[in-house]
Amino acid sequence: MTNPILAPELLELLNSENRDELLEAVNAVHPAEMAEFVAALDDPDVWRLLQAIPRQQAAEIFSNFDFDRQEDVEKLMAISGRHQAGEYLRTGALVHFKNRVGWVVILGLLGLVSGLIVQNYEGLLMQFAILAAFMPMLADTGGNTGSQSATLVVRALALEEVRPRDFLRVLFKELKVSVLLALVLAFVAFGRVLVFGGGSTMPEGSSLNWIGLAISIALGLQVVSATMTGAILPLLAAKLKLDPAIVASPALTTIVDITGLLLFFGTAKILLGV
């Protein structure tokens, strides 16, 4: 049952930031009972309590929450990571700007490489205009799969489910997932080329089947590459003591664009014999 006296007292101790008295109050109660006592607190206050006490005690109290409360608190953990509650709103806009602008500018300049790659393969696009129609699909698919992977790894880092030293385990897991995704999406891409590419102009002697094969293989390679990149970047950022949430997303976008174009045009050039 909820203790109507202890819950307000805990909240008062939290608000007063008197950590010694808070620890004394927590130590005086069994973790299972403490989990019942804090049931009257809101989720953000529960998360503040878990942050304020030693990790082992926090884990014991958390394990005694019911499933719904655990799920709600986990959402706060995933959002806030190791930061103090409310840090985002307390931090000034200029500080956020300084943290982000360097990465955005550098990666924006690197994005010019994508234009150079397309320019280098203008001849291929002129011969096979159908390839241009499927470039957005390649970019979107790579971005989506890479973002999924990066988001999951960032969340796992925030929850301390993985650490940078788990690099190889994470990569092996994401490799298996990416191969399965690549097979499914490559099959879908091949079918899409056959269904929607019939009216496209192609050089004499060219086969729509070969074009579909080139696009689907390139897409599959892009899925594997983007997924692995999405898993690597947050771990690398954490290893270098950088914020994975700030670094991973913009870097992923730039890297996936560049590698995707290289894989796309390289595969098409080899299979189409250009």
- The tokens for 115 are 């234009």
> Crossing angle of helices 112-120/93-110, nearest 10°?
20
Amino acid at 74: E
pTM over 0.85: no
Which residues in 101-118 are b (16+ Cβ under 10 Å) and which e? eebeeebeeeeeebeebb
CATH architecture of 98-272: Orthogonal Bundle (1.10)
Summarised one tens digit per residue, pLDDT across range 115-138 is 888 888 888 888 888 888 888 888
Cα–Cα dist 197/126, whole Å: 16
pLDDT of residue 119: 87
pLDDT of residue 197: 73
Cα–Cα dist 46/80, whole Å: 13
Residue-averaged pLDDT of the chain: 80
Cα–Cα dist 89/83, whole Å: 12
Cα–Cα dist 164/167, whole Å: 6
pLDDT of residue 175: 94
Over 90: is that where the pLDDT of 229 sits?
yes
Summarised one tens digit per residue, pLDDT across range 48-74 is 777 777 777 777 887 788 777 776 676
pLDDT of residue 2: 44
The domain locations on the chain are 6-80, 98-272
Cα–Cα dist 216/188, whole Å: 8
Look up residue 84 and give its DSSP letter: P
